[in-house]
Structure 1
C-alpha cells in the first residue's frame, strides 16, 4: 500500500523492552505492509539485547532507526521520546505500535486511510468488527470494564480508549501538548485521547484484530492497572468539580 496522498511522511514508533524475539519480525512486517513508512525503535536499554538487534536492522535498512534510552521508564515516556524525535526529523504522522505482534502491521493501511478525515485514529478492539484472539475471559472482561469505566467517568465517546495501536497527525500532538503528560503506563493512551477530544479534535475508532503475544512476557502489571484506575478517577472528578464551580 502507498501512503494516502496528503498525509506526508509517516513514522511507526515501536517501544521495546526485552523484545529481542519479536522486534525483527514486527519491523519486517511493517516494512512489507507499507514499504514507504519509516520505523523508529525506542529501546529502554533492554538487557536481552533488543537494542543491539535493532541496531543491526538499522544498519541493513535505512528506513529503520533506533533511539536508545538510559533505562526502563514506562510506555508513556518512551512514546513521548519517539514523538519528539519524529517532530525534530520532520514527520507528519506518528503511529504507535507494540513490538510483541499484538498489533497487526497488515492493518496499518486501514488506520492511515481513516486518518485522512481525522486527527487521531485508534485501532479499537471493542467496536463492531474488532476482536481479540487468545485472551482469557478474565483479561477480556478487565479490558472491557476499564474502557467502560473510562467512557462513563470521563464522558468520552470512545469504546477503546486504552488501545495502543493508533495514528496521530503531528499537528494533533502539537495542539494537545506533551509537556504536561506524565502518565507512564497504559493510561497514557487514555490521557492523549482525552486531551485530543477536549481540544475539539476528530478522534475516530476503526476495528482491529488484537492477537495475544506468542514470545516474551506482557508488561501489564497491577501497578499499571492501579495507575490507570487512579488517574481516570482523578480526571473524572476534576472535570465534575470544574463544572459545578462553573456551570456555564
Structure 2
C-alpha cells in the first residue's frame, strides 16, 4: 500500500522532534501540514528532512484538509493522521494499518479512564449523538488518530476541531467499513488548543451533517 503519515501542526516545538523520530523509526513516509508556526516547528521539521506544507486557514480542519489535498496530489492510497502533542503513540500505526484494506477507516479508540470525567464528557456526548443520528456503534469519534483510504473521503469543509466528526460522518454516509482499535492516550506536551466553545461547534457539526446530502 502507498501510505503516508501526516502531523497537523501549530507551534509544536515541545513535541515535533520527538514525534518525527518515533514515526521515522517505523519507516513510514511523513509530512507536516502546518498553520504558520512561529516557534521553530517548521525549521525543526525541515532540519529532520520532513516535507512541510502550509495551510491557508486557521484551525485543525484546515490542517486535515491540506493533508488530504497533499495525499491526493502525491497519489497516497492511505493516510494516517495523528496529533503532534505526543498524546497519541505512533507505535500503534502498524496495528491500525493491519485492518486496512479490509476496513476503510480505522480509528484509535483512546483508553481514557485516567482522564477526569468532565474532560471526557464532551466526547461521550458527541459519540452518542453520532450513534443515535447515524445508526453507528462507535466509542470515540473525536479521536485524533485514524487511518483511512483516501478515495473513501470526499470534500470536507470543517475548519476546526469538528473535523474528526465530519470525517467519521462522511465515512458513515458513504457506508464505509469502520474499525476501532484500543490505543493508549499519553500525557500532552505543550498546552491544549481546544476550548469549551469547540465542544458546541462539534455538536452542531454532527447535527448539521445529518441533513446534508
Q: 1:144 aligns with which of 118, 121, 124?
A: 124
Hey, what's the Cα distance between the residues in 2 that align with 1:211 and 1:134? 10
Task: Report the aligned-residue RMSD.
Answer: 1.8
Q: Deviations over 1:47-89 (max 9, x none)?
A: 212111111111xxxxx3111235x611111111111112111
CA distance in 1, matches of 2:135, 2:40: 43
- How many pairs does the alignment contain? 213
* Offset of residue 134 of structure 1: 4.9
Residues 1-248 of structure 1: pairs in structure 2 closer than 5 A:
8-32=1-25, 34-35=26-27, 37-58=28-49, 64-69=50-55, 73-125=58-110, 131-132=111-112, 134-173=114-153, 177-178=154-155, 181-213=156-188, 215-236=189-210, 238=211
Q: Which consecutive aligned stretches of 4+ in structure 1 deviate over 3 angstroms post-superposition?
A: none
1:10-64: CA deviation from partner (whole Å, max 9, x where unpaired): 11010111101100101111111x21x1111111111212111111111xxxxx3
For structure 1, the 5+ residue unaligned runs are 1-7, 59-63, 126-130, 243-248
State the distance in 2 between where 1:66 and 1:139 align: 32
TM-score under structure 1 length normalisation? 0.80
1:133 Cα offset (Å):
6.5
- The separation in 2 between residues aligned to 1:171 and 1:196, in whole angstroms, is 11
Q: Deviations over 1:171-200 (max 9, x none)?
A: 212xxx11xx22122221111211112112
Q: Is the 8 Å Cα contact of residues 5 and 79 (structure 2) preserved in structure 1?
A: yes
Corresponding residue number in structure 2 for 1:246: none
Q: 1:217 to 1:111 in 2, by over 3 A?
A: same
When normalised by structure 2's length, the TM-score is 0.92
Distance 1:119 1:76 in 2: 20
Which one has the largest radius of gyration? 1
